Amino acid sequence: MRNVLYCLLASVLSLSACDSRRQVSSEGAGSDTVSVTADTGAAPEPVPVAPPVRTQALFPRDSVAALPDTAFVELIRVDTLFVPDMRYATADNFLKEKVYDCDKCLLRKEAALALLKAHDQLKREGYRIKLYDCYRPLDVQKKMWKIMPDDRYVGNPYGSGSVHNKGAAVDLTLTDSLGHELEMGTPFDHFGREAHHAYTDLPTEVLTRRRILKEAMQGAGFEPITSEWWHYSYRRKNYPTANFKPECE
Ligand SMILES: [Zn+2]
C-alpha cells in the first residue's frame, strides 16, 4: 500500500522507476465500478460510475508525511477543499496559450505539507485556497519563455528559471467557504504596481484579505515576493529543478 501511495502521490523524478503504477491504475478502475446482481444466473457485469477522484480525500496526511522529502504530492488528493483553477492548463492566462496538458497541482512534500497547514488555518477563518499554479516542468518554462522571452514576466529557463520548476512555489488566492473567488485588488498575473504587496491604495477588505493570506502562508513557512500578491515560495530547502510531466487522467 505504501508503495502504491508513493507512486500515486509521489511523482518521483524518474516516473519510469514507479513499477507499481499499473497496479494503482487497476485498483482505481476497480473502485470506479460497481457490480449489478441479476436473476439471470449470468456473471454480473461491472457498471462504470463517476470516479471519486475529486470528491473525497483519497490519502490521509500521515501517508504524505511518510514519503521521501523529494517526493511530489498532488494537493487535491489530500485535501479536496482546495479549489483548482490551473490557468496554464487553459488559455485564460497572460500568455493566452494553454501550456499544460492537464490541471495537476503538485508540490514537493514539505511545501505540500506547509500549504496544507496554511489551508487548515484559512479554513478555520472561513476561507479556502484557490490554486492557480504549482509545480511547473522545466520544459513548460521553456515553452513559456518562447512565447514571452522577457524576464520581467517569465523566469528565464536558461538562467535561474523559476521556483515553480523546483516544485516549491505556488500561485494562489482566497475564496469564501463555498469556493467563490474573492476580490484581491487585481486579477492573477496582473503585472502592475497594484499587484505589489507595498501597494496600499486599495479597499480595506482587499488589504485585509492580502494580509490574511500572507500571514497564513508565512506562518506555514512560505515567503512572498514583492511584486505578486498571489505567489509564495517555500525556500526552507533548495530542491533541484525538475522536468517530469505529471500524468494526466
Ligand atoms: Zn508564481
Q: In this structure, what C-alpha cell is assigned to residue 237?
A: 530547502
Q: What is the pLDDT along the chain (249 residues), one digit of tens a residue?
A: 443 344 344 443 333 333 223 222 222 333 322 222 233 334 445 444 444 445 455 788 889 999 999 999 999 999 999 999 999 999 999 999 999 999 999 999 999 999 999 999 999 999 999 999 999 999 999 999 999 999 989 999 999 999 999 999 999 999 999 999 999 999 999 999 999 999 999 999 999 999 999 999 999 999 999 999 999 999 888 999 999 999 997
Query: pTM to 2 decimals?
Result: 0.79
Distance from residue 60's CA to the centre of ligand 1 (Å): 27
Distance from residue 136's CA to the centre of ligand 1 (Å): 10
The rounded distance, in Å, linking the Cα atoms of 200 and 203 is: 8
The rounded distance, in Å, linking the Cα atoms of 110 and 234 is: 8
Distance from residue 230's CA to the centre of ligand 1 (Å): 7
Q: In this structure, what C-alpha cell is assigned to residue 15?
A: 516516473
Residue 139: burial class (beta carbons within 10 Å; 0-12, 13-18, 19+): middle
Name the region of 126 (left: φ>0; alpha: ψ -120 to 50; beta: rest). Answer: left
Q: How, if at all, do strands 83-84 and 228-233 pair?
A: unpaired
- Give the C-alpha distances (Å, rounded to integers) separating 23 from 5, 49, 61, 64, 249: 11, 20, 22, 19, 15
Distance from residue 40's CA to the centre of ligand 1 (Å): 58
Q: What is the pLDDT of residue 249?
A: 79
Q: What is the pLDDT of residue 128?
A: 97
Helix (H, G, I), strand (E, B) or coil at 73: strand
Nearest CA-CA partner of 140 in 9, 242, 16, 17: 242
The rounded distance, in Å, linking the Cα atoms of 219 and 223 is: 9
Q: What is the pLDDT of residue 56?
A: 52
Judge whether 106 and 170 are in contact, CB under 8 Å: no
Q: In this structure, what C-alpha cell is assigned to residue 13?
A: 523524478
In the chain, what are the domain boundaries? 55-233
Q: What is the pLDDT of residue 57?
A: 55
CATH for the 55-233 domain, from 3.30.1380.10, 1.10.490.10, 3.40.50.2300, 3.30.750.24: 3.30.1380.10
Cβ neighbours around 142 below 10 Å, total:
18
Distance from residue 165's CA to the centre of ligand 1 (Å): 10
The rounded distance, in Å, linking the Cα atoms of 53 and 74 is: 11
Nearest CA-CA partner of 135 in 237, 64, 239: 239
Distance from residue 129's CA to the centre of ligand 1 (Å): 15
